[in-house]
Amino acid sequence: MPGDMPLLALQQHMLRALQEPLSGESRTRTALAPRPEGASHVVSQVADLLLTPSASLRPAERLELYHRQYWFRLLDALEEDFPALQRWLGTAAFWDLAEGYLLAHPSRSFTLRHLGYALPAYLPKHAFRNPVTALDTAFALDLARLEVALCQAFEAGERPPLAGAALGESTIALQPYVKLLSLDYPVDTLWRQRRLSSARRERFARAQPRTRWLIVYRRGSRVEVERVPRAAFAILVALQNTGHLERALEDVATVPGLLRCQDQSRIADWFSQWVARGWFCAG
Amino acid sequence: MSSNRFNSYSDLGIGIGLRSVHLPRIVETLPSVDWFEVISEAYMVEGGRPLAWLDQVAGHYPIVQHGVSLYPGSAQGLDEAYLQRLKELTRRTKTPWVSDHLCWGSVAGTVSHDLLPLPYTKEAVRCTVANIRRAQDTLELPFVVENLSSYAEFHASTMSEWQFLCEVVEGADAGILLDVNNIYVSSVNHGFDPYHYLEQLPHERVAQIHVAGHSRSGEVIIDTHDHPVCDAVWRLYARAIELCGRTPTLLEWDADIPDLETVLAEAHKARRYLTAQPVETRHAG
């Protein structure tokens, strides 16, 4: 290598090599499928350009230690954050998705906790090596959205909660650890199941798409998922959008058919529960 | 202890890393250990369980922050948002110093999440010194830089690793987190004498020491932190204590983590070396 290569150029070369897909023995140590494209030449080219050999290792072998470490670490992080998605897709399709995602969305955060945040946006664009059905993809997308919300709620902030009496007078926001999700498939049920037998998977696959309204929130140090009626969800969304109790209720009331008779009598109960859980804070 | 301005004249003794698998037991039993080291990034969050645990432990023990994502060797400088979050955490933990690794790890906002080695060049010294000075100015705490374990060497290097480390800490007026396991790992991988490395360092700048276990993978030793400390590393540690004085020492065990008692027993092995040395306060430069 030219001895005067600027430091930035050296770092750009090396990072580019690390981001190349795994191949050879490094790849066989993962659940990634073999690549029909074969090994990338970038790693060995960069290694020869930048690195010296040691007594026992060629430059490419030395760089490969970092290359595999880069991928192992990121793949492990995604596996940890999306266990239900992996159960649904199966190991091969999940790792295929994970590799494609990491190639398209390398980490931009100082922490691996944020690594999967863009997975729901990427998932519909992913070309699976072994095509999955449209239903599988749609179900997977809802699962990914749920598992991202769980990660976000886990580490989100908590502001001083408002007392019930203050709701009418203040600008209101939801606590950062309260996440609202409207999803088409019963992925919350699947997420709760630690194992997914083929019979159970079949039952999920027969589920009809219809909207489910979910709240993902933190209670103490635990993250929980709860289904709520459509009207309750709509009120929380309106509160999030308007920041005002009265305006939120007005907005919801103007949607034809949204507030049913039984809902109107339950609004006070919903608010009591939400206030007791400390879900509202100053906006 | 080797109290110096790089460890805020702390008289900490033996510490272990605060790992989530041990948290309930630590809070329940308040084990006999002098301090805990935390990975800063694990607690750079807005809320939730990590901070709740941290606050509980900090109520009983000194906490020292050790980072993995500052990347002081990054050619494009430091991430200001990261620095500000790090500073926020230092207010919470009241850490007496902040440490991170002598490495780089990101380019143009893309993060490798690895501790990547630097070429030992004058340009890399200048860049790293400038970054560490900026970190010190922002954090308003002593900054302590850890020597890396590495598996690669660059054509571009014009000096040895210890010369590079010396130039960086002298230039930035920073402390050293002396990882004796890392010296051992790199000495085997690159074929140098680890005792010569130790002897060449400015010992008055050593604020803290790490000891850890490692694994062999074919022809190389990998810094896995998944085993007890081997005899060769304890011998190197003994020499480090002779040279640096009694220095706050931390056992790292980050993978295949055994129960808390096993980790503590391994950490306390360091005491026999520490107690053989007199207490002294050292003044650098």
All residues of chain B having their beta carbon less than 8 Å from the beta carbon of residue A112 are: 113
End-to-end CA distance of chain A: 57
Give the DSSP H or E segment for A219.
Answer: strand A212-219
Binary contact (A18, B44; C-beta < 8 A): no
Task: Give domain status of residue A272, yes or no.
Answer: yes
All residues of chain A having their beta carbon less than 8 Å from the beta carbon of residue B44 are: 110-111
The domain that holds A228 is classified in CATH as: 3.90.930
Handedness of CA B229, B232, B233, B235 (dihedral sign): positive
Q: What is the ipTM of this complex?
A: 0.93
**What is the rounded CA–CA span in Å between residue B146 and residue A252?**
57
DSSP A10-37: HHHHHHHHHTSPP-HHHHHTSSPPPPTT
Identity of the residue numbered B95: T
Task: Give domain status of residue A10, yes or no.
Answer: no
Give the pLDDT of residue A37: 74
B255 touches chain A (CB under 8 A): no
Task: Give domain status of residue A204, yes or no.
Answer: yes
For A252, residues 6+ apart whose C-beta sits below 8 A from its C-beta are A231, A234, A235, A238, A258, A259
Q: Which of A4, A5, A7, A112 to mutate to test the interface with B (most CBs of B within 10 A)?
A: A7
- pLDDT tens for A223-239 read 999 999 999 999 999 99
Q: For chain A, how many residues are written?
A: 283
Which of A3, A108, A221 shows the shortest C-beta gap to B156? A3
Task: Give domain status of residue A250, yes or no.
Answer: yes
Task: Give domain status of residue A258, yes or no.
Answer: yes
- pLDDT tens for B165-219 read 999 999 999 999 999 999 999 999 999 999 999 999 999 999 999 999 999 888 8
Q: How far is A6 from chain B (nearest CA, A)?
A: 8
Report yes or no: B175 and B97 within 8 Å, Cβ to Cβ. yes
Which of B151, B154, B191 shows the shortest C-beta gap to A55? B191
Task: Give domain status of residue A271, yes or no.
Answer: yes
CA A62 to mean position of chain CA atoms: 33
Q: What is the 3-class SS of B247-268, one letter each residue?
A: CCEEEECCCCCCCHHHHHHHHH
Q: How confident is the model at residue A1 (pLDDT cuts 50, 70, 90)?
A: very low
Give the DSSP H or E segment for B9.
Answer: none
Task: Give domain status of residue A175, yes or no.
Answer: yes
Task: Give domain status of residue A107, yes or no.
Answer: no
B110 touches chain A (CB under 8 A): yes
Residue A79 pLDDT > 90: yes
**What is the rounded CA–CA span in Å between residue A190 and residue B3?**
55
**Which has the higher per-residue pLDDT, A36 or B245?**
B245
Q: How far is B269 from chain A (nearest CA, A)?
A: 31
- pLDDT tens for B77-87 read 999 999 999 99
Give the DSSP H or E segment for B199.
Answer: helix B194-200
All residues of chain A having their beta carbon less than 8 Å from the beta carbon of residue B214 are: none
Q: Domains in chain A: how many in total?
A: 1
Report yes or no: B73 and B167 within 8 Å, Cβ to Cβ. no
- pLDDT tens for B36-69 read 999 999 999 999 989 999 999 999 999 999 999 9
Report yes or no: B46 and B79 within 8 Å, Cβ to Cβ. no
Domains of chain B listed by start with CATH number: 2-281 (3.20.20.150)
Residue A3 pLDDT > 70: no
Q: Which of B40, B85, B150, B151 to mutate to test the interface with A (most CBs of A within 10 A)?
A: B151
For B102, residues 6+ apart whose C-beta sits below 8 A from its C-beta are B72, B73, B118, B128, B145, B146, B147, B148, B164, B165, B168
Give the pLDDT of residue B281: 59
Radius of gyration of chain A (CA): 24
**What is the rounded CA–CA span in Å between residue B272 and residue B285?**
30
Residue ranges making up the domain that contains A225: 159-283
For B265, residues 6+ apart whose C-beta sits below 8 A from its C-beta are none
